[in-house]
Structure 1
Amino acid sequence: MSKPEILQMGPYPEWDQLPLDEAYTVHRYFEAADKHALLDAAGACVRAIATRGELGAGAELIAACPKLEIISIYGVGFDAVHLDSCRSRGVQVTNTPDVLTKDVADIAIAMMLAQWRGVNGAERWVRDGSSAAKGLYPLKTRAWGKRAGILGLGRIGFEVARRLTGFDMDIAYSDIEAKPYAKDWTFVADPVALAAGSDVLFVTLAASAATRHIVGPAVLDALGPNGLLINVSRASNIDEAALISALASGKLGAAALDVFESEPNLNPRFLELPNVLLQPHHASGTVETRKAMGQLMRDNLAAHFAGRALPSPVL
């Protein structure tokens, strides 16, 4: 029996690539010099798309694969997949939740500490000789005892909040509604009000049309010149033009970002700002978690082609 044909949107680590190549006939979209020619040649045979959260699968791509049955996402975000096309065609969609949750929460806390305690700047202070020539590094701010706001109390937001309790923080959150599992934390329905009552605002909500630029001028102004914004969700949740303006003008104190619009080609203005910490979309970037993500992505494909229930369906 011939192996199912799949379209692979981006590279995976070798520990995922080898089993994929063994189980399927793999068409590497990301390696094709002429992607339209690849789809013309192979699209009619493709039964599955293996993609990553930031790469997704657009409506045109889905339309070019008339036998498509499933899209398996390596990552938790599915906003880059054209779900309406999938619904109309009966195409299943899966992602890899839970396995990356705690690592993403860990990096969010790490970015908070790096910004408030000046970790990167202090390290440069030692390396460039300033410690010997100029003396003590400029004083920074403490983390413990501050007010934390969490925009989106899903899996990742919950784990961020749970970690923040160890810093004796006053924790509040915004979501569609108050969560029964968050009785020790304060529910604030309005994101602007949440920001106004926070020293640090974590953006951890899923991206959708409804959340696009939910962190805009009003939220940034409310967070204020001493506030810290941390985004480990999706770039579309932040109005980047407003964020850059607020950071440059001092209306917002600082930011720490793991995601950007048009990544990896971020807006070059970010590179000119001393009050933003930049990360290369690697919040889930540990060996342990990436192996678990790849396994779940492949388990979803295997379950589909074996006629079993999908381990982590989106659609």
Structure 2
Amino acid sequence: MTMKQKFTLKKLFRKREGWLLMALFALLLVFGCYEFKVVDQPTEGTKNSSFDVNIVMTEDDDESNDWTYEDGSLTKGGLFSVLLPEGWTITDDIGVTVVAADSLPDGMGGWVKPTGEHGGQYVLQYDETQTTMLNDSSAAPPEGYYWWGAVTSEPVDMAFFDSLYFTVNILTDDKLGEFFLQYAAGDVDYWGRMPYDPLTLTDPLPITISPGVNVNEYLTEAALSLYPNPSYGYLNIGLSGAMDRTVDMMIYDLRGKQVRSGQITGAHTTLDVVDLAPGTYVLRLETGGETITRKFVKH
């Protein structure tokens, strides 16, 4: 069983100095009134697979934050970024739940209650501008890594904020060894300010990727064939071990955006990928709790 570590980030974070940290803070427009509480990332994973990272953020200990006495007009555009090894990506369209409190201190010794409902469900989506800015700036990642960046698809209601949580699904490739990931969160507030807070950037969190003991019964490396690769318009998928099963099929680009989905019901399937733009894609297959991924190139 893959072991996980739960990081209580008040204990994990420490004061860090250096060009990377300060430049990243300036670029992310990070939150000033809340903090990471838990980042639940596995310490072990397998190649050509995926793993989930559960993230929780809460209000910080500063009772004078500026959303406890808002009337519901406080909205912010949310930002989220992950430092990934090159070749990995994240399943796009990350669902985020924002929880509002019944009442909060007003920063002046009293309490205030909301006049309506706040919080709600939101979606983080890959953003080319933020990703390019992070990777091309003075906060450029170390060799072999890149920043994957996302923004919320609509402004987030932060009035009476209590906490938020979401799950990130990360797709690995065929590289083996020891890697690390970092997570950062931020926002664009209603003044367009650029505050920063060291509690909104995690320390590097390690993960070891190995071939793994193949617990899959049907979706095994040996059972899956993918050809021709590169593809010039058609892609053949062979599944010798899943002839009598329905297999869910998804194709993602390297940004994590799902560009195709469907089902495979036989040992051999031919996909028409003529309409896909030239580039590298990730094929993901799932059945009965089993998952396998494989990259292919479209010319």
- TM-score normalised over the length of structure 1: 0.25
By percentage of residues, which structure has more helix? 1
- TM-score normalised over the length of structure 2: 0.26
Greater length-normalized contact order (CA 8 Å, ≥ 6 residues apart) = 2
By percentage of residues, which structure has more strand? 2
